[in-house]
Amino acid sequence: MSPRAPLTVLLASPRGFCAGVDRAIQIVERAIAKYGAPVYVRHEIVHNRHVVERLRALGAVFVEDLDECPDDRPVVFSAHGVPKSVPAEAKARRMLFLDATCPLVSKVHVEAQRHFDAGREIVLIGHGGHPEVVGTMGQLPDGAVRLIETVEDAQAFQPRDPANVAFVTQTTLSVDDTADIVAALRARFPDIAAPHKEDICYATTNRQDAVKAIAARAEVLLVIGSANSSNSVRLAEVGRRAGARAYLIDDASVLEPRWVEGARTVGVTAGASAPEVLVQGVIDKLAAAFDVTVEEVDTAQETVTFKLPRAVAG
């Protein structure tokens, strides 16, 4: 038997669950424990197949609309946020609902409302159709928010009053891509009102910085996360931009050893909605084929936590 080839695994830190994801999952778990199954969840609580399947096994029922929920069972709104019309409908039906919207997404909603109340025309930098974008645009009347997805969109945007424009952003975007769009807007509208604090969340920024640190040293980058997870997709893009061959994988079962053949150094990270157990599974699969040395590359410390809603906090 020939000796296994040596392989250095650079493990990005921070990686995996952020405070908003952790809070959202806990809300569903505690709702099931308190109220019994089924507990309905409007949209996937977070964008990770493994998390959704585990919660489904506990008694969560995932739906896309309140029309699919009975009046007499609890419903949880996902971490991505919902349009204002959704809690309004739930209140009208006297439903018990729990809002698992990430507090950092709620902050963007508050900013958008503040700009609207000040009479500004609002630009939202984000990806069309993503639930967070749908939720943010749904905080205000139709037509109050203009979606900008690219630098070209920013250059083509024609506001009613160029001196009275504001922007907010989706929280899970590429930091670098967003900076380019913001620069294009500022070049055209020097007085554009910006967020008090960066809208792209700390966890997205930290995970992208960690990927840049390891991708610069690795031939291959493995990003653990689901294909509908915006922040996970962005991590793969950041890795490719830094020069690594990047693969987005749900778990170790889809990892192809040929992707790593000939590589001496592989980076591993996980999107903000991917459980740590999936990271260990990927390392174990690599260790079965190679003589693996794991090096953790720590680029930031995260201490953020978010309070649970009072209904399930006890």
Per DSSP, the residues of 160-207 read S-TTSEEEEE-TTS-HHHHHHHHHHHHHH-TT-B--SS-SS-HHHHHH
Please confirm, yes or no, whether 29 is among the known catalytic residues. Answer: no
Taking the domain 103-188, which CATH number applies? Answer: 3.40.1010.20
Record the pTM: 0.95
Q: What angle do CA 54, 58, 63 make, to 5 degrees?
A: 80
| pLDDT score, position 128 | 96
| pLDDT score, position 3 | 79
| pLDDT score, position 2 | 57
Q: Which of 76, 47, 71, 46 is nearest to 59 (CA)?
A: 76
The CA distance from 40 to 313, in Å, is: 19
Q: Which of 6, 38, 8, 44 is nearest to 25 (CA)?
A: 44
Helices (H), the chain: 19-35, 49-58, 85-92, 103-117, 131-137, 151-156, 175-188, 202-215, 230-241, 276-289, 310-313
Q: Are strands 6-13 and 291-298 parallel, antiparallel or unpaired?
A: parallel
* Concatenated DSSP letters of 109-140: HHHHHHHHHTT-EEEEES-TT-HHHHHHHTTS
| pLDDT score, position 91 | 98
Q: What is the pLDDT along the chain (314 residues), one digit of tens a residue?
A: 457 899 999 999 999 999 999 999 999 999 999 999 999 999 999 999 999 999 999 999 999 999 999 999 999 999 999 999 999 999 999 999 999 999 999 999 999 999 999 999 999 999 999 999 999 999 999 999 999 999 999 999 999 999 999 999 999 999 999 999 999 999 999 999 999 878 889 999 999 999 999 999 999 999 999 999 999 999 999 999 999 999 999 999 999 989 998 999 999 999 999 999 999 999 999 999 999 999 999 999 999 999 999 999 97
State the catalytic residue, choosing from 44, 121, 132, 237: 132
CATH number belonging to the domain at 19-102, selected among 3.40.309.10, 3.40.50.2000, 3.30.200.20, 3.40.50.11270: 3.40.50.11270
Q: pLDDT tens, 162-211?
A: 999 999 999 999 999 999 999 999 999 999 999 987 888 999 999 999 99
| pLDDT score, position 4 | 87
| pLDDT score, position 199 | 83
Starting at the earlier edge strand, list the strands of the sheet with 220-224: 245-249, 220-224, 265-270, 6-13, 291-298
| pLDDT score, position 45 | 95
Domain locations in the chain? 6-17+202-298, 19-102, 103-188
| pLDDT score, position 5 | 92
The CA distance from 34 to 312, in Å, is: 8
The verdict on domain 6-17+202-298 having CATH code 3.40.1010.20 is yes
Please tell me if the domain spanning 6-17+202-298 has the same topology as the one spanning 103-188: yes
Q: What is the DSSP letter of 229?
A: -
Check if the beta carbon of residue 205 is closer than 8 Å to that of residue 176: no
Strand pairing partners for 148? 125
